[in-house]
Structure 1
Amino acid sequence: MFLDDRFGASHVLKPVQDGSAEAFFTNGDDEVLQRRWAREQGMPGEPALEAILLAQIEHHATEVFYNLDPVRYPSAFVAKLPGCVNTALCWRVAPSGGADFTAYGAVLGNFPSILEMWRRAGCRAEPFFPAHDPVMDEYGRGERPIDVSFVGGYSRHHRARARTLEQVAQLAENHNVVFCLDASRLTKLAESAIGRLLPMRQHRRPAAIAAIARPPVFGRDLYELIGSSKIVLNGSIDMAGTERGNMRCFEAMGCGALLVSDAGSYPDAMEEDVTIAIYNTPERAVEVISRRLLDWPASAEIAARGRDRIRTIYSKDVQWKQFCDLVGRI
């Protein structure tokens, strides 16, 4: 069910998606799933979730352990891996509060400056990219009634993004604009009936944003939203510096929407006015979106070209070959 929902599918390697007997996939923090497996295997008592995960790895005779949640399973966990594991790799593209990943054969990611940060922390770090999820091809083949959509976090920690969203939200007066926002707990409290009686104004979203805000969407619901959108707005968070290429870029282009994103250094396949559109300031974002909607036939051609590039350059076959090459070098 989890794999069919496609949450995080761009990071799930091809053998898992293909149902290969050589691959074993689990969510180590899913207590219901993990305890069910433990009972089926006859593990006595109530073993810790970590013990269950280690038992699964040993049961599968895993040779390559690839971890998408290294903060939960840092070097101390790697030291406990059974002897069948020859290589341990992890994906991480964010600061991690001093977590130790040095026991991994390599930390993988697609942001060069963050890879360099891991190298300074004593880790081997290697470039690796998300892949186009083939299921994305099912979405966005018909009408796109939503003019502009945005999906992501909104908090006081996303200052540049917040300014852009406030500007673009004003387009809702004349266009169908949808923001699916993962608001912070403080924001939710500040906008509640009780919160409006408290001195929490700085945590409330601007009226233009709050008026069109919806709950966040994930997995296939996210694909459906993007597939119904002409334009997907993207804005990097403050820690990204000048580097770009977050997951929303791959998802927007993969589902055939026109990606409108902030200026910076992008990976292959993401090229201004060829496969994506770029804005330099929050105010310019409104300009760019308005112009692209006004000349939608030309904008749709850019989006289609972007979809083709993503499907080719970042296919699951390409990702899997790169992963195997990495394992061979480590």
Structure 2
Amino acid sequence: MKIAIVDTYYAAFLKTHYAASGGLQRQDFQDQRDALLASCFGTSDFYSRHLQKLGWDAQDLIVNCVPLQVAWADENGVPYSKLAMQLPHRLFRVPMIGPWLAALPGLMEIAVAQLKTLKPDVLYCQDLSFFPPHALRELREHVRLIVGQIACPLPSNDFLRGYDLILTSFPHFVPRLRALGVASEYFRIGFDTRVLEELGSVEKTVPISFVGGISRHHTNAIPTLEYLARETPIQFYGYGVGALDRGSPIVARHHGEVWGLGMYRALARSRMTLNRHIGVAENNANNMRLYEATGVGTLLITDEKDNLGELFEPGKEVVAYTSKEEAAEVILHFLEHPREAEDIARAGQKRTLSEHTYEMRMIELNDILKRHMG
């Protein structure tokens, strides 16, 4: 069976990736896609590679990458508007602007054309906000099952009801989606061992790090991060520092954006790394950092959540904190007791590699999809 895995990548990553690529935008669709997947950004080819081993014909589509999608359109004779390619995709849904822009063939239209060409049995969308309801209705005659996956704030109900099934790593989203009449199941994120092969041996030279974004979804975490910047030697890597006041103690410790394999390397160089969840997670542990940090063998210090014990054993495989003061105490303790930190990090990595890999997740997904296809 065929599955098309549709994803969108952060614009900042795409800009950085193409700027460093030496003319990648002039290469054909396949070469561009291979280069993007090789970067290990997001879920990369972590789904498709393992689904292929299970007998699926799995294709990755990065539908908001302009040079990639333009290459596909040119190679397949699909018309598009150069103006539409220069406009942010979100503008197509802005009242009064959207109806005018909808007449311009752009990224969404190219993605629809790709799917009509592929005719997958399953359309698997990692970004529920990309296809508007009318596009999903148009695709129904070409696709057997339309599936979405979400671990961020929910889009409007009109977008949600266009899916046959929505998977989520937020346990609390499942009953809310079902109450809307949308089939939903709990499906966790994971770690891919290809990352370890790509990284090779990495020396741990950073005592404690925070690797991640600072955005409107993370505002509740900023006081904690600033407190830790004053009380511990924590170093920062990621995006969004420009949104902070220049007097923030984070700024002086910030080492810039890291993406894909560079992000994993920053984690792997760290003896410990701090994790915190966005507000929409409520009191549930779910995010990618749980598995990324433990997967590369770094001690994860994470905010305490009700279900954390279902994923890792706190105190033995990861360490939990309930306040900024406790986070600082934990960090300072393990700086003074490095062997204890190493023992917990090793146990956390063992748990992730034995229970939380994408190879295992795809076995779960294979069963879920076949069950819902009937």
TM-score band by shorter chain is 0.7 to 0.9
Cα offset for 1:208? 2.0
Counterpart for residue 301 of structure 1? 343
Contact 1:16/1:25, CA 8 A, preserved across alignment: no
Cα offset for 1:6? 0.7
Q: Choose which of 206, 216, 221 in structure 2 pairs with 1:146.
A: 206
Say if 2:171 is the partner of 1:130.
no
Counterpart for residue 237 of structure 2? 180
Q: Partner letter of residue 303 of structure 2?
A: D
SS at match of 1:25: strand
Counterpart for residue 124 of structure 2? 66
Contact 1:252/1:259, CA 8 A, preserved across alignment: yes
Contact 1:140/1:226, CA 8 A, preserved across alignment: no
Cα offset for 1:267? 6.0
Q: Which range is displaced more, 83-92 or 50-59?
A: 50-59
Q: Partner letter of residue 291 of structure 2?
A: F
Counterpart for residue 75 of structure 1? 133
Contact 1:109/1:115, CA 8 A, preserved across alignment: yes
Cα offset for 1:119? 2.4
Q: Deviations over 1:131-156 (max 9, x none)?
A: 21112323474421101111223357
Q: Partner letter of residue 239 of structure 1?
A: V
CA–CA distance in 2 between the matches of 1:283 and 1:239? 23
CA–CA distance in 1 between the matches of 2:122 and 2:265? 34
Say if 2:38 is the partner of 1:4.
yes
Mapping of 1:31-46 within 5 angstroms?
A: 31-44=66-79, 46=81
Contact 1:10/1:131, CA 8 A, preserved across alignment: no
Residues 71, 155 of structure 1: CA spacing in aligned structure 2 closer, same or farther, 3 A cutoff? closer
Residues 324, 77 of structure 1: CA spacing in aligned structure 2 closer, same or farther, 3 A cutoff? same
Residues 249, 21 of structure 1: CA spacing in aligned structure 2 closer, same or farther, 3 A cutoff? closer
SS at match of 1:9: coil
| TM-score when normalising by structure 1 | 0.86
CA–CA distance in 1 between the matches of 2:215 and 2:108? 32
CA–CA distance in 1 between the matches of 2:241 and 2:229? 19
Q: Partner letter of residue 212 of structure 1?
A: R
Residues 206, 45 of structure 1: CA spacing in aligned structure 2 closer, same or farther, 3 A cutoff? closer
Residues 205, 120 of structure 1: CA spacing in aligned structure 2 closer, same or farther, 3 A cutoff? farther
Residues 238, 296 of structure 1: CA spacing in aligned structure 2 closer, same or farther, 3 A cutoff? same
Cα offset for 1:181? 4.1
Cα offset for 1:323? 1.0
Structure showing the higher helix proportion among its residues:
2
CA–CA distance in 2 between the matches of 1:314 and 1:93? 17
Cα offset for 1:236? 1.8
Contact 2:42/2:260, CA 8 A, preserved across alignment: yes
Mapping of 1:222-241 within 5 angstroms?
A: 222-241=263-282
CA–CA distance in 2 between the matches of 1:67 and 1:97? 13
Counterpart for residue 52 of structure 1? 110
Q: Partner letter of residue 266 of structure 2?
A: L
Counterpart for residue 218 of structure 1? 259
CA–CA distance in 2 between the matches of 1:137 and 1:167? 32
Count matched residues: 311
CA–CA distance in 2 between the matches of 1:114 and 1:26? 26
Residues 227, 140 of structure 1: CA spacing in aligned structure 2 closer, same or farther, 3 A cutoff? farther
Counterpart for residue 316 of structure 1? 358
Counterpart for residue 199 of structure 1? none
Counterpart for residue 288 of structure 1? 330
Contact 1:133/1:315, CA 8 A, preserved across alignment: yes
Counterpart for residue 161 of structure 1? 221
Counterpart for residue 24 of structure 1? 59
Contact 2:318/2:348, CA 8 A, preserved across alignment: yes
- The percentage of aligned residue pairs carrying the same residue is 27
SS at match of 1:26: strand
CA–CA distance in 1 between the matches of 2:80 and 2:202? 53
Q: Which range is displaced more, 117-126 or 29-38?
A: 117-126
Cα offset for 1:102? 1.3
Residues 273, 141 of structure 1: CA spacing in aligned structure 2 closer, same or farther, 3 A cutoff? farther
* Structure with larger RCO (C-alpha < 8 A, sep 6+): 1
SS at match of 1:261: strand
Contact 2:52/2:58, CA 8 A, preserved across alignment: no
Q: Partner letter of residue 41 of structure 2?
A: F
Q: Partner letter of residue 144 of structure 1?
A: K
| TM-score when normalising by structure 2 | 0.76
CA–CA distance in 1 between the matches of 2:46 and 2:147? 13
Q: Deviations over 1:99-152 (max 9, x none)?
A: 521121111111111223322333211111222111232347442110111122
